A = this chain, B = another copy of it.
Amino acid sequence: MDSEKTNSRRQFLAKGAAFTGLALPFGAAKAQFGAEMEGLHPRRYDVVNATDERGFSLAYGSRAKFETPQRIASTTANGAVLGAYTPLQDLDGIITPSSLHFIALHYADAPPIIDPREHRLLIHGLVDRPLEFTVDEVKKFPSVNRVHFLECAGNSAPLFHEDARTAQTIHGWTSCSMWSGVLLSTLLQQAGVQKKARWILAEGADGAKHTFSIPLEKAMDDCIVAYGQNGEAVRPEQGYPLRLIVPGFIGVANVKYLRRLKLVDEPHMTRWETTGYVTARPNLRGKALWFDHEWGPKSVITRPSGGQRLEAPGYHQITGLAWSGAGSVRRVEISTNGGRTWKDAEVEGPAYRKAHTRFRMDWRWKGGGAELQSRCTDDLGNVQPTQAELAQLIGAPGPEWFKKTGIIIHDNHIQPWRVDRDGTVHNALL
């Protein structure tokens, strides 16, 4: 080691106003400092790919081995994996860890593996200049980073499934991420949208070529061609390398593995938008709504929630998530007596638009029975309905109607959790 380098390392300085005005003689500090810090000064930069025998990786870390929150799979009658639910009751804050983001699988038991170097995004149809982009080319455009929830249209529908008793298995088909990418409007402006265009057909590169029609107005508003999720690349289950994010719309509209955007003059009437994801309403006298894709205001208390148990009377924090497909969360109210009286919860801001928003309220459980409900109001004034209010709104015969219903499309009614005297928490609608 040459002595000049050694000396220069033992010199040091820094800046800024002192937090506390204590000072010690410089010489004394220098002597100690040199000895302590000499060992801390980096000499080399190394790529360390190894994982040690205890599972520690310097290059890319993993969670503690004691941690067990995980997605739970749902399977269909014929045994196919339909998707997996986020453990909402185990999470804090508003960002869903990417490893626990819910999954919906329409066509296969596992997501496709796509080499990003081979992937292309085509924009064509009613445009002045058809364009094809590599993923790297997409990344060169002006970028945005926005927090948005995704939610499968069928979320909360398992409300009456005999095995669905927790926040996860009833409501876990929603998650929230910071999405990074390019505004779809930016790419469309490059291509030059022709006057006749009214809709966009979005197509994925999965084996079945999933397709969905997006109104042009929505595409030009806030849709994102996303390559990033929570700081790093979009996860394979979420559409790697490119996913169309359609903020506030049901999950199926947020086309994964996005490879084609065709500008068209009318909706394409794809398989899913004409069948599974339509809105039937008794009060429409036998009609079903197409393209009714925006989520209403919604919330769910995640702690305490079904399957949990309050250990003892006394202080408990009630917390959960609220969101709206139309805007941001303005207010969340909580009732602890089955909806008779309501109190404002604290909404942890800033509340992002079309994003999960954390709420909480202090509660003193007296030890008797209780019923917890949360009610979301968004910044447009839309209020989350109770099941009875929703029944009335759509012209269903009454709340009992819901019990007969197998699948509900974008159900947003209030979830009541019943607390029994022994502290156990249950779905009060079962």
Known interface pairs A40-B276, A52-B110, A292-B14; A58-B103 also in contact (CB < 8 Å): yes
Known interface pairs A9-B406, A14-B411, A56-B236; A290-B23 also in contact (CB < 8 Å): yes
Assess the A281–B65 pair: CB atoms within 8 A. no
**A133 beta carbon closer than 8 Å to chain B:** no
Query: Which of B35, B38, B117, B271 contacts A36, CB < 8 Å?
Result: B271
Assess the A286–B25 pair: CB atoms within 8 A. yes
Query: Which of B32, B113, B142, B406 contacts A41, CB < 8 Å?
Result: B406
Copies assembled: 2
Q: How far is the CA of A363 from the CA of B260 in the complex (A)?
A: 28
Query: Which of B215, B286, B315 contacts A27, CB < 8 Å?
Result: B286
Known interface pairs A46-B73, A145-B358, A405-B8; A230-B16 also in contact (CB < 8 Å): no
**A140 beta carbon closer than 8 Å to chain B:** yes
Task: Give the residues in chain B near A349, CB-CB below 8 Å.
Answer: 350
Q: Chain B CB within 10 Å — which of A32, A66, A317, A319 has the most? A: A66
**A407 beta carbon closer than 8 Å to chain B:** yes
**A204 beta carbon closer than 8 Å to chain B:** no
Known interface pairs A44-B74, A58-B81, A61-B235; A408-B12 also in contact (CB < 8 Å): yes
Task: Give the residues in chain B near A267, CB-CB below 8 Å.
Answer: 22
Listed A/B pairs (16) with beta-carbon separation below 8 Å: A9-B406, A11-B404, A11-B406, A13-B405, A19-B292, A26-B285, A41-B77, A43-B75, A45-B164, A48-B81, A62-B99, A63-B232, A92-B231, A96-B231, A141-B317, A142-B362
List 4 other contacts, CB 8 Å, given A14-B279, A44-B75, A96-B231: A16-B296, A47-B72, A59-B84, A67-B233
**A275 beta carbon closer than 8 Å to chain B:** yes
Task: Give the residues in chain B near A59, CB-CB below 8 Å.
Answer: 70-71, 84
**A 1-39 to B, binary, CB cutoff 8 A, 1 in contact else 0:** 100000011111111111111111111011011011111
